[in-house]
Structure 1
Amino acid sequence: MASKDSILIAAIVASQVAPPFMFSGVAVALPSMGVELEAGATTLGLVATVFLAGSLAFLLPIGRLADATDKRTIYKLALLGFAIATALIGWVSWIPGILLLRLVQGVMSAAIAATGPALVADIVPPERRGKAYGALLGAVYAGLTLGPVCAGLLIRVASWRAVFFVGAALLMLAYLLVALTLPSRWRRSTQPAQLPSSALIVAAVSCVVAGSATLRSGSLGIGLLAAGILLSVLFVLVQRRLDDPLLDVRGLARHPIMRDALLVQLLVYMSAYCLVFMLSIYTQVSLGQTAQTSGLLLALASLLMAAAAPIAGALSDRAPPRVIASVGVAAVLACTLMATQLGPETSLIYVAGIVVMQGLGFGLFASPNMTIIMNSATARTLGVASALSAKSRALGMILGMLVGVVLISAKLGDAPVEEHPREFNEVVVIAFAVLSGVGTLALLISLFTGRRAPAQPTS
């Protein structure tokens, strides 16, 4: 790779730290924000949900726009927009204004997710992409790990507003770094805007996210979730009838390598996110650990992901990436099987072993699977492929959360979890039994994909 390209990749990788830093750091800042602004739990939930809705709903439209115009320009504008919105949140004390700015943050996050991996694919030849994606994902996991730690420190010495000001500074630094090294190549789009399809997918995803976030509230959450599913089905049916669709559903169905890699990614993220969700509650309710101890324990997984992803990415340039990804899936499956043995007397060391296995497995899986997805795309659909990858990750996380919420609601109803540790422990065992089945399916699909996939990337 030429030295100029190496500098471009380094700039893109470095810029990937700031967005996840803000995403994970804000979660720590929400309680302090609620106290100062006198916001209740529902409002604080909206602060998180609005961001997630924006970041997931706009992925495909932005990915399509990036392919039709210029991924570089959109990436730079997204970093700049994210920085400005983040700085403004630090100044605002009006909840509706904060919610609007969080939506802007989410849309900018979608643009970064839809263009970052696609830019790497534009610059790096297929046979060397594994190392680049490993570094990129390592930066993402580093941001996720540092976010809560730094946010907690900033809140202690200053206030929740400092989290947004520091995040804005990091994002602005990332923008300047990319702006100075990545020249734009804007071109006028010759493709139709696909506004009806874009509106349909935005509405569908927004309903799914809102329904998932309010599922325990009863009929409203169920209704929104059902509406989201129906709109998603309608979106697929509409795309199948269009000559130039927003998402080529028929082409994806004929492309088993990308399709299966996306499905495996969804299943693995579903398993991993539900595991984190359940372990966070389990360590505090069943084992009596503090929130700080629980947070540090779970942060170990992100730290191991950040360390393992670059190594796995480099290995996937030397060996078939689906083999390395399958090893990662097997490790994630192993940790869910270990988790089925959790009980009220389980040692913290055993739980730490589960977290370590998950972190290593996830790190081994993520970058090789990203390589498979992006190497399966053509040059003119890299933005859409990148958006699909991000969407499958986010949908997997939502499904993982739904598994946990549905099982807890079915067993405990509206009763506080901390008042029923024995019943919650039964939920934990059931949840990880379900996740073990999900992990087994993911491993079988991954191995089957491996037998069909070529040994080296071809596009």
Structure 2
Amino acid sequence: MHGQEDRKINKNILIATTLSSFLVPFMSSAVNIAAPDIAKSFKLNAEELNLVISIFLIFSAAFILPMGKLSDTFDRTKIFKTGLLLFTLSTLMCALSNTVEILFVFRSLQGLFSAFTFVTSMAILIENHSQQIRGRLLGINTAVVYLGTSLGPFLGGVLVRLWGYRSIFLFGFAIGLVGSFVSLFLLQKEVKNTKQAKLVDSLKSLDKMGTILSMTGLFLLMYGASTFELGNTSKILFFAGLILMVIFVVAEAKLQNPILDVKLFVKIPQFGFSNLAALINYSCTFSASYLLSLYLQLVKALPSQLAGSVLIVQPLSQVITSLIAGRASEKIEPRKLATAGMVLTTIGLFVFSLFSSKTSLVLAVANLLLMGIGFGLFSSPNTNVVMSCVPKSLYGTASSTISVMRVVGQAFSMAIVSFVSIMFLKGVKLSHENYFLILKSMKISFLVFACISILGVVASYKRGNIYSEEE
């Protein structure tokens, strides 16, 4: 009987956290598809449009670490509920915005409040369930994130075609409304009661210097990465953000109550190597869909709908593999699964670096499937290691470090692609006529990613086991 209780899944907690995990990546990817319609509605130039799209991720990244620390001292359930509700309302206001300035403000608020749910949803899910079923829960959570990412372009495209870009925000508002209802009225009675400090005390104890450094550093890093191709100012901001993050790490190592205990990366090898592997993985894979979109449409000259149908193979395979890998990581050492995933990802990246204009579409689909399986095998077991090797009191911090590795990895990935593009495509019109240069840029980018990914394989393998130590 006790074993059955240990394996019982709380449906209300799962529904609330799953809806939030779906909503944020769905909105992010769906709005990307709506970019041309947004630009047309507000008569935006390329730089203005890029800022409207990217400001969401920039604000989200900036607030991740402070919210992670706050969720370890204050009631994280309240943070989650507040964040989901305010994210939902901000989404509605994006739909109702009649000027680009108002849209810009509420896109920024969307990013801010998404940080509330990023760092708390996984912690709430894990701390209220037995460790025996942790792997499958993380598999579900990871699969839902990929589902949101993969359905965003498809559903977003349909909604924009039928009712315009505002319908995407209204659809997101409807999902958020359901999640907010569950979290506001059903979640509190389900979560385990823990003693938490008052909000005022938690804010007072927050490392002020670390908060300022991390927020400023991540803001500049993400802004510079998202606008890297626009000129020298963006490049300066990117490297300034990188320098500030280095200063942040050095400063945090000397504090008694830091916003991020960087000593954990050394004290707990599994924690340090798992986060390093995640950083490398996101750095190598985030820009793959963008590069392949250019390849399919500008090199292979496929129509956009067919290109989208090909690209969706990877995230859908990630969804299925994540569910399987999550459950498998309860019995098989997560290090083995994650390392196998990194190996498959590295092979897939290297194969893409060998593509030519005559490469079969079947091979492209097969390699996307391989990449999807690799990423699915890596992600949920890797997260399982990170969350399993820290005490419950640090779940918020652990969750925030995973999120930081993701956004910093994405920034590096964008910067690498932008740097290679500047080398080969500066001043070149992105069209089929220039397919040779586009192909060359893509192949070099994938080769760089494949080489970096080898380091990810090493980091993943070196982390050590978790189950043998518990036994």
TM-score, length-normalised on structure 1? 0.95
* C-alpha distance in structure 2 between counterparts of 1:447 and 1:242, whole Å: 31
Kept after mapping to 1: 8 A contact 2:52/2:104: yes
Aligned to 2:49: 44
Aligned to 2:419: 406
Residue 435, structure 1, aligned to residue 457, structure 2 = no
Query: What are structure 2's unaligned runs of at least 5 residues?
Result: 1-5
* C-alpha distance in structure 2 between counterparts of 1:8 and 1:235, whole Å: 35
Aligned to 1:171: 176
Q: Specify which of 19, 37, 62 is matched with residue 67 of structure 2.
A: 62
Kept after mapping to 2: 8 A contact 1:126/1:458: no
Residue 301, structure 1, aligned to residue 314, structure 2 = yes
Kept after mapping to 2: 8 A contact 1:71/1:115: yes
Q: How does 1:324-403 map to 2 (within 5 A)?
A: 324-403=337-416
Aligned to 1:115: 120
**Deviation at residue 195 of structure 1 after TM alignment:** 2.4
**Deviation at residue 2 of structure 1 after TM alignment:** 6.6
1:368-393 Cα deviation digits (max 9, x unpaired)? 01100100121111101001001101
**Greater mean deviation of Cα atoms: 370-379 or 408-417:** 408-417
1:189-244 Cα deviation digits (max 9, x unpaired)? 55512222212111111111111122212211111012111211221122122121
Whichever residue aligns with residue 244 of structure 2, its letter is L
**Deviation at residue 458 of structure 1 after TM alignment:** 4.4
* C-alpha distance in structure 1 between counterparts of 2:85 and 2:389, whole Å: 30
Aligned to 2:3: none
Q: Specify which of 218, 225, 236 is matched with residue 205 of structure 1.
A: 218
Kept after mapping to 1: 8 A contact 2:26/2:148: yes
**Deviation at residue 121 of structure 1 after TM alignment:** 2.1
Whichever residue aligns with residue 222 of structure 1, its letter is K
**Deviation at residue 456 of structure 1 after TM alignment:** 5.1
1:39-60 Cα deviation digits (max 9, x unpaired)? 2211110012210111111100
Kindly report the root-mean-square deviation, in angstroms, between the aligned alpha carbons of the 2 structures.
Answer: 1.8
Kept after mapping to 2: 8 A contact 1:15/1:178: no
* C-alpha distance in structure 2 between counterparts of 1:146 and 1:60, whole Å: 28
**Deviation at residue 411 of structure 1 after TM alignment:** 1.7
**Secondary structure of 1:329's partner?**
helix
* C-alpha distance in structure 2 between counterparts of 1:7 and 1:160, whole Å: 31
Kept after mapping to 2: 8 A contact 1:18/1:174: no
Kept after mapping to 2: 8 A contact 1:22/1:164: yes
* C-alpha distance in structure 2 between counterparts of 1:96 and 1:458, whole Å: 53
Residue 236, structure 1, aligned to residue 249, structure 2 = yes
Kept after mapping to 1: 8 A contact 2:425/2:441: no
Aligned to 1:142: 147
Residue 423, structure 1, aligned to residue 437, structure 2 = yes
1:149-181 Cα deviation digits (max 9, x unpaired)? 111111122121111111111111111122233
* C-alpha distance in structure 2 between counterparts of 1:180 and 1:346, whole Å: 54
Q: Percent identity between the aligned chains?
A: 25
**Deviation at residue 278 of structure 1 after TM alignment:** 1.3
Structure 2 CA distance for partners of 1:216 and 1:339, relative to 1, 3 Å: same
Kept after mapping to 1: 8 A contact 2:12/2:187: no
Count of matched residue pairs? 457
Residue 73, structure 1, aligned to residue 78, structure 2 = yes
Structure 2 CA distance for partners of 1:63 and 1:457, relative to 1, 3 Å: farther
Aligned to 2:300: 287
Aligned to 2:268: 255
* C-alpha distance in structure 1 between counterparts of 2:239 and 2:446, whole Å: 25
**Deviation at residue 412 of structure 1 after TM alignment:** 2.3
